[in-house]
Amino acid sequence: MNDSNSGMDAGVFDQFIEQLQRYVRERLLPAEKQIIETDRIPEDIMREMRDMGLFGLTMPEEFGGAGMNIQQYTRTVRELSYAMPCYRSITSINIGMVCSALKNGGTEEQKAEWLPRLAAGEIACFGLTEPGSGSDSAAMQTMAVKSGNGWVLNGTKRYITNAPHANVALILARTSKEALPKNAHVSAFLVPMDTPGITVGKPDKKMGQAGSHIADIIMEDVHLASDSLLGLQEGRGFIIAMQSLDNGRLSVGSAATGYARRALDSALRYANERKAFGEPIANFQLIQQMLADSEIEIYAAECMLEDAARRADLGENVLVKAAAAKVYASEMCGRVVDRVVQIYGGAGYLAEYDAERFFRDSRIYRIYEGTTQILQLQIAKHMLREWAQQG
């Protein structure tokens, strides 16, 4: 069995990536038209993704997962994200967020109960954001109150990816009315979604990302057993969430980078096919400049992500580097898809061409798992703290 950082055997991983690349191009890309029309991933593809182990990439082998390290996981996300975003979205909460939280903070009993189920393809969601709070934990309203041997949960979570399909939610809730130092007023709970008192709102209509669904989770007097508290420890929810968000941010950065590559490949093909003034527009230097700038920026994002993931596997604190890589990759993707629309010209504004979809799908990458602006503040805060300590 692998330790937590060694990951999958390198040769086996290379074979897996080759298989995944073929699967993405031969199976997932052709299904995109159907997903756009129906706003859902076909059930046969969901079964195939479960059979390929895509829901358990980073789960330890003893719990039925592939045992990938973070470098291997981020590479896998890049390859999967060459296809439309919903394929990553349905798997990534299991892997990047809830699995990380269980590995970092769960009891052995909680790991034994939930990790095999998540690895097999049960769907998880992660409940942090609320109507009035996101990264601001002091404003969190969801409350968990002790009751007998368990807890009673009340509150609403907003914009929760996979909520309409989830079997389990990792919910962050206050266990103290006062805002405590180091966010010790926030705890994490493993909540089966069929627990009485839980209502999932109607899926929100979104700008892009067809086939990926978000919705509110409303909790009214939800009674939970005592062992639903992650790690059986109060006050560690926000710390565990932030550790999980490092993986989540590397996943989003990898998704943005993989999708930027897809968009650039599309623009490269179009520029060679589209003719103006009697020759392919790929011959025009200002088109070449947009293609070259995009290639340069994708390469830079790949390097940042690989470095941050390598450091994470070595056990380094990568909070700043994961945030930096996510910011750069997501902003880079926005610039690339904007250029792709420009290269397509008038056709780039039409829904019948892919460029318009790439543009809409990519916009969310700069927002979720921490907006660019929140992460800039976080990075600067750590820089200033280190400066002060050196003084």
* Dist. CA 250–CA 212, nearest whole Å: 19
Active site residue 61: no
Catalytic residue (choose from 297, 302, 356, 369)? 369
Quote the DSSP letter at residue 130: B
Packed helices 10-23 and 70-80: angle between N→C axes, nearest 10 degrees: 10
| Cβ neighbours, 10 Å, residue 369 | 28
Hunting for tokens 């039409």 — which residue is that? Answer: 350
**In whole angstroms, what is the distance from residue 224 CA to residue 382 CA?**
37
Residues near 93 by Cβ (< 8 Å), separated by ≥ 6?
123, 124, 125, 126, 161, 162
Report how far residue 44's alpha carbon sits from residue 41's, in angstroms, rounded to the nearest whole number: 9
Q: Where are the alpha helices (DSSP H) in 274-371?
A: 285-313, 319-344, 354-362
Contact 187, 236 (CB under 8 A): yes
Distances (CA, A) of 115 to 122, 173, 189, 240, 244: 10, 22, 15, 16, 15
Active site residues: 369
